[in-house]
Amino acid sequence: MKFFIKNLSSSSTIQTKTVLSQGGVTCSLITLAAGDKTPFREPEYVEEHVLYVVEGRATVHFDGVNAVIDRDHALLIPKGKPHSISADATSQTKMLRVEIPPRPVAAPEIVTLTS
């Protein structure tokens, strides 16, 4: 399996690093300092992805709900779901963001039998 480090960017104390990009799947490591929060992502920029907390605790804010994700837990973010992510106030948070490529919808073939 090949791993590619594609980019490293930071915004204040939020760091992202792409650790895998292969076959349409992209996996990025996001590091947030204690109490830091990502900017709110607008619906048109949100693709379906999974957030998996590697270290610390994260809170995902969407639709007036705050979903807390503890270490070794994950949350599926549906396509078009606006959200932001904040780290626990007492420690940094590291999480993997795994982008899920669009999947074809399998529709059963309709067969009509005539006698």
Domain harbouring 47, CATH code: 2.60.120.10
- Confirm whether 70 is domain-assigned: yes
Cβ–Cβ < 8 Å for 32, 14: yes
- Confirm whether 104 is domain-assigned: no
- Confirm whether 114 is domain-assigned: no
Provide mean pLDDT across the span 10-24. 80
Residue 44, pLDDT > 80, answer: yes
Beta carbons within 8 Å of 49's beta carbon, 6+ residues apart: 76, 77, 97, 98, 99, 100
| Other CB atoms within 10 Å distance of the CB of residue 22 | 11
- Confirm whether 34 is domain-assigned: yes
Provide mean pLDDT across the span 50-77. 94
- Confirm whether 73 is domain-assigned: yes
- Confirm whether 19 is domain-assigned: yes
Cβ–Cβ < 8 Å for 32, 40: no
- Confirm whether 3 is domain-assigned: no
Q: What is the pLDDT of residue 12?
A: 56
Residue at token pair 């932001």: 84
Domain range for 47 is 8-99
* Count of domains forming the chain: 1
Q: What is the pLDDT of residue 114?
A: 77
Query: What are the residues facing 49 on neighbouring strands?
Result: 77, 99
